[in-house]
């Protein structure tokens, strides 16, 4: 089974801090994704990556950056945390970006609170 591990289930940070959310997958997947999930808004894609050091902006990249130095790890960075970034963050991975029938595999999420 694919395992996608997010480093923290719960995280509390202060406004203005630089925050790192880490995600690791164990199946050599090429694709990795970061979403945020908010009530009434569903999943919104922040950034995704289709290869090491390659990244693409999703629908709401403002205030975030990402890093993918190794294939198994995809980090989400809040450059200067703000209260409106309080949310549930979900990481996912997927095998091959060029195949249509591969599903995404999700981690359990990090609930981030910015005070």
Nearer to other proteins, 33 or 75 (CB): 33
The least CB distance from residue 18 to other proteins, in Å, is 25
Nearer to other proteins, 5 or 67 (CB): 5
Would you say 89 and 107 are in contact if contact means Cβ atoms under 8 Å apart?
Answer: no
Rounded to whole angstroms, how far apart are CA atoms 70 and 53?
8
3-state secondary structure of 111: strand
As measured in angstroms, the least distance from the Cβ of 57 to other proteins is 11
Question: Rule CB under 8 A: which residues touch other proteins?
Answer: 4, 30-31, 33, 40-43, 45, 48, 50, 56, 58, 90, 92, 94, 96-98, 100-109
- Report in angstroms how near the CB of residue 86 gets to other proteins at its nearest: 17
Tokens coding 103: 């599903």
CB 43 within 8 A of CB 37: yes
Q: Show the tokens assigned to 72.
A: 């198994």
Q: Which is nearer to other proteins, 33 or 85 (CB)?
A: 33
Tell the smallest beta-carbon distance from residue 14 to other proteins (Å): 25
Nearer to other proteins, 85 or 110 (CB): 110
CB within 8 A of 102, min separation 6: which ones? Answer: 94, 95, 96
């Amino acid at each position: 089974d694919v395992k996608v591990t997010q480093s923290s289930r719960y995280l509390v940070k202060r406004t203005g801090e630089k925050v790192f959310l880490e995600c690791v997958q164990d199946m050599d997947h090429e694709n990795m994704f970061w979403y945020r999930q908010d009530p009434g808004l569903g999943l919104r894609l922040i950034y995704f990556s289709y290869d090491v050091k390659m990244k693409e902006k999703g629908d709401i990249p403002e205030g975030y950056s990402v890093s993918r130095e190794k294939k198994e790890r995809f980090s989400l960075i809040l450059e200067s945390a703000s209260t409106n970034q309080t949310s549930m963050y979900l990481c996912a991975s997927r095998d091959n970006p060029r195949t249509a029938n591969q599903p995404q595999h999700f981690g359990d999420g990090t609930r981030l609170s910015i005070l």
